A and B are shown apart, each in its own frame.
Chain A
Amino acid sequence: MIILNGVSKIFNQGQQNQFVSLQDISITIPPRQVTVLKGPSGSGKTTLLSIIGGMSRPTSGRVTMNGREVTSLPERFLSALRRETFGFIFQQFNLINGISILENIMLPAYPNGERHTLLKARALELLAMFGLEARAATRVELLSGGEVQRVAIARALINNPEVIIADEPTAHLDSKLSVELMAIMERLKADGKTIIMASHDPLVYDAGVVDNIVEIRDGRISCSNRPQ
């Protein structure tokens, strides 16, 4: 269970270009469910996701994760939290060019110090799950859009995280791939993962798999509900 209590985020505080991105956000994200942060561009969805995922700290307010306050954790622990608890799927997918799919997938697990053979076996298993085992040695820049998306998801799953965070996951996908992605999310939900997505794509927030929708506008929650 992730609880946000009075979270605000102000960029360039005290300067002329001060910008309030989030104001007094308080939400509860239940475990093993799919929650969508819905809102137009610039509403603060990505900022909220990065605060939930421990990538940035709120200017004020608190985030607790399974009862543990995480906003004041030192950087080293935040890194470990990102690595062990969250799996990230970025809007641009953010794979590292020039190295193989397999290496890209294993990257988040390198700091764990796990045995290489075990890690590789797990990465290959994930590749098989997404039908990419034959392309393990291929460099990522040679992949199609759909393949890049699946590699990004496989990378997010390598450390078997409790929570998957996806920022506009369908922004660069056509409708067919978007539907495919939502099917994968459904499978992950069935596996017991908590999924948090930011999107303004109806294919995402209208999908049957979604349990909760949090609507954000101008950095504030405008509506929080369960879809009909």
Chain B
Amino acid sequence: MANIEKQRAIIDFTLSSLMRRKGKNAALLVVYTLVVTALASVMFFTKSIKTEAAAVLADAPELVVQRLVAGRHEMIPLSYVEKISSIRGIRAVRGRLWGYYYDPVFGSNYTLLVPRELTFGDGEAAVGSGVARSGLAEVGNIMPFRTYQGELFTLTVAQVLPSSTELVSADLVLLSSGDFRALFGVPENMATDLVAEVANPSEIPTITAKIVKLLPDTRPIARDEILRTYEAIFSWRSGILLAILSGALLAFFIFAWDKATGLSAEERREIGILKAIGWDVADVLMMKLWEGAALSLTAFVTGVLLAYLHVFAGGASLIVPVLKGWSVLYPSFRLTPSIDFMQLGILFFLTVIPYTVATIVPSWRAAIAAPDSVMRG
């Protein structure tokens, strides 16, 4: 009980001490918070985008086979299904129909996909939440399209898709195979690409080699490869951004170090007075610990909250041009919050702990000196 009262009294004094040097401490707090916000934003964004990518690919087929003509992706003949099926280790192969459709009325890009199992009939569609947000797609509404020949083509919305992540289904329109072929003029014997199920994932490299040998105009893509590419891209990008931020970080550390380690003559005098009137070295250090902790914790918590709002509510507008890059990702989607607490912990240890320690060391030096100097004014 006495210890709680003692801590309370010391905290009271610490807070009024901080208020006495309002300008200096406020400036430090602002810079400190901005640094934490910047770092935490990069961390949150990178982690979430990787999570999104992993979620997108979780249900993706292990192996996709595309046909290339002059280095470009082309429709693949369904006759390839049989040839690939003959390779040992392949469990099943099927053709897949998907493509993009630009809706000039809403200025939106949709991804049109024929699902493996259709739960609705021809002339109907299931749409993702992003499409639903465009205002058109409530169940029962009619969505107008233009076919490859410029004719009007309509689909009735039968279902709005639930989704765990926006990226998976935001712009998705599911439709029947017949409707897809009619809309884009894809012949019956062609598909966008082929997907293969592999009995043993460790055989994928061998199988891809066999596919390329058997069908030289194809390009097999393994799911793990895509995932690795995403990981590499976003780790590299966040690395670049952190490298740019490191200048700011260094400036902050110099500023904080100077503030924390250089006790002013006034602070030194105060420590002397406190010692002289009966404060122990431990009491002085406790006060300085609270002071450092109050400042750095406030900056850390505020910085992390601002970063959270910036990334997940504000669309990470300040860092997105560097981190996202539209050639890799869909034009627009909202990130689902995903936080790596380990990384957050590391950020805590890299900011709060060094600052607090840096505050304590010089105070300890001042506090262990004999207090009789205050007797001499």
**Contacts A55-B370, A56-B370: A94 and B376 contacting too (C-beta < 8 A)?**
no
Contact B278 A50 (CB under 8 A): no
Contact A88 B280 (CB under 8 A): no
Write out the residue numbers on chain A whose beta carbons fall within 8 Å of the beta carbon of B377. 90-92
Interface SS of A by simple majority: helix
Contact A55 B376 (CB under 8 A): no
Of the candidate stretches B9-17, B43-51, B105-113, B293-301, the one touching chain A is B9-17
**What's the minimum C-beta distance from A69 to chain B, rounded to whole angstroms?**
19
**Contacts A46-B375, A111-B6, A112-B6: A88 and B16 contacting too (C-beta < 8 A)?**
no
**Is B3 among interface residues, defined by CB-CB distance under 8 A?**
yes
Write out the residue numbers on chain B whose beta carbons fall within 8 Å of the beta carbon of A106. 9
Interface size on B, residues (CB 8 A): 37
Write out the residue numbers on chain B whose beta carbons fall within 8 Å of the beta carbon of A97. 20, 266
**Contacts A112-B6, A116-B5: A94 and B274 contacting too (C-beta < 8 A)?**
no
Contact B278 A83 (CB under 8 A): yes
Write out the residue numbers on chain A whose beta carbons fall within 8 Å of the beta carbon of B20. 97-99
Contact A108 B6 (CB under 8 A): no
Given the complex of chains A and B, what is the CA–CA distance between A155 and B279 in angstroms? 14
Contact A49 B375 (CB under 8 A): yes
Write out the residue numbers on chain B whose beta carbons fall within 8 Å of the beta carbon of A112. 2, 6
**Is B27 among interface residues, defined by CB-CB distance under 8 A?**
no
**Is A226 among interface residues, defined by CB-CB distance under 8 A?**
no
**Interface of chain A residues 88 through 124 with chain B (CB within 8 A):** 88, 90-92, 94, 96-99, 103, 106-116, 119
Interface size on A, residues (CB 8 A): 40
Of the candidate stretches A23-31, A72-80, A176-184, A206-214, the one touching chain B is A72-80
For A94, give its contact among B8, B283, B374 (CB under 8 Å). B374
For A88, give its contact among B5, B277, B281 (CB under 8 Å). B277
**Is B57 among interface residues, defined by CB-CB distance under 8 A?**
no
**What's the minimum C-beta distance from B25 to chain A, rounded to whole angstroms?**
12
**Is B82 among interface residues, defined by CB-CB distance under 8 A?**
no
**Is B288 among interface residues, defined by CB-CB distance under 8 A?**
no
Given the complex of chains A and B, what is the CA–CA distance between A99 and B276 in angstroms? 18
**Is B273 among interface residues, defined by CB-CB distance under 8 A?**
yes
Contact A113 B277 (CB under 8 A): no
User: 1/0 per position for A34-48, CB-CB distance to B under 8 A?
Assistant: 000000000000110
Write out the residue numbers on chain B whose beta carbons fall within 8 Å of the beta carbon of A215. none
Contact B275 A79 (CB under 8 A): yes
Contact B16 A103 (CB under 8 A): yes
**Is B270 among interface residues, defined by CB-CB distance under 8 A?**
yes
Contact A103 B277 (CB under 8 A): no
**Interface of chain B residues 349 through 377 with chain A (CB within 8 A):** 368, 370-372, 374-377
Contact B5 A107 (CB under 8 A): no
Write out the residue numbers on chain A whose beta carbons fall within 8 Å of the beta carbon of B281. 75-76, 79
Write out the residue numbers on chain A whose beta carbons fall within 8 Å of the beta carbon of B1. 113
Interface SS of B by simple majority: helix
Write out the residue numbers on chain A whose beta carbons fall within 8 Å of the beta carbon of B2. 112-114
User: 1/0 per position for A57-81, CB-CB distance to B under 8 A?
Assistant: 1000000000000000001100110
**What's the minimum C-beta distance from B204 to chain A, rounded to whole angstroms?**
68
Contact B280 A79 (CB under 8 A): yes
Contact B6 A88 (CB under 8 A): no
Contact A76 B280 (CB under 8 A): yes
**Is A159 among interface residues, defined by CB-CB distance under 8 A?**
yes
Given the complex of chains A and B, what is the CA–CA distance between A96 and B266 in angstroms? 9
Write out the residue numbers on chain B whose beta carbons fall within 8 Å of the beta carbon of A83. 277-279
Given the complex of chains A and B, what is the CA–CA distance between A47 and B372 in angstroms? 8
User: 1/0 per position for B264-290, CB-CB distance to A under 8 A?
Assistant: 001001100111111111110000000
Given the complex of chains A and B, what is the CA–CA distance between A84 and B277 in angstroms? 10
Interface centre among B6, B8, B370, B371 (most CB of A within 10 A): B371
**Contacts A107-B13, A167-B375: A82 and B276 contacting too (C-beta < 8 A)?**
yes
**Contacts A91-B377, A107-B13, A113-B3: A56 and B372 contacting too (C-beta < 8 A)?**
yes
> Which single residue of chain A is at the shortest CB-CB distance from B266?
A97
Contact A110 B370 (CB under 8 A): no
User: 1/0 per position for A202-225, CB-CB distance to B under 8 A?
Assistant: 000000000000000000000000
User: 1/0 per position for B1-37, CB-CB distance to A under 8 A?
Assistant: 1111110111011001101100000000000000000
**Interface of chain B residues 319 through 377 with chain A (CB within 8 A):** 368, 370-372, 374-377
Interface centre among A84, A94, A107, A111 (most CB of B within 10 A): A111
> Which single residue of chain A is at the shortest CB-CB distance from B4?
A113
**Interface of chain B residues 211 through 243 with chain A (CB within 8 A):** none
Given contacts A92-B377, A94-B374, 20 further A-B contacts (CB under 8 A): A55-B276, A55-B375, A79-B280, A83-B277, A98-B19, A99-B16, A103-B13, A107-B13, A109-B9, A110-B13, A110-B279, A111-B280, A112-B2, A113-B2, A113-B5, A113-B9, A114-B2, A114-B5, A155-B277, A159-B278
Name the 5 nearest CB pairs between A and B, nearest first. A83-B278, A113-B2, A98-B20, A113-B6, A50-B372
Q: B interface vs A, CB < 8 Å? A: 1-6, 8-10, 12-13, 16-17, 19-20, 266, 269-270, 273-283, 368, 370-372, 374-377
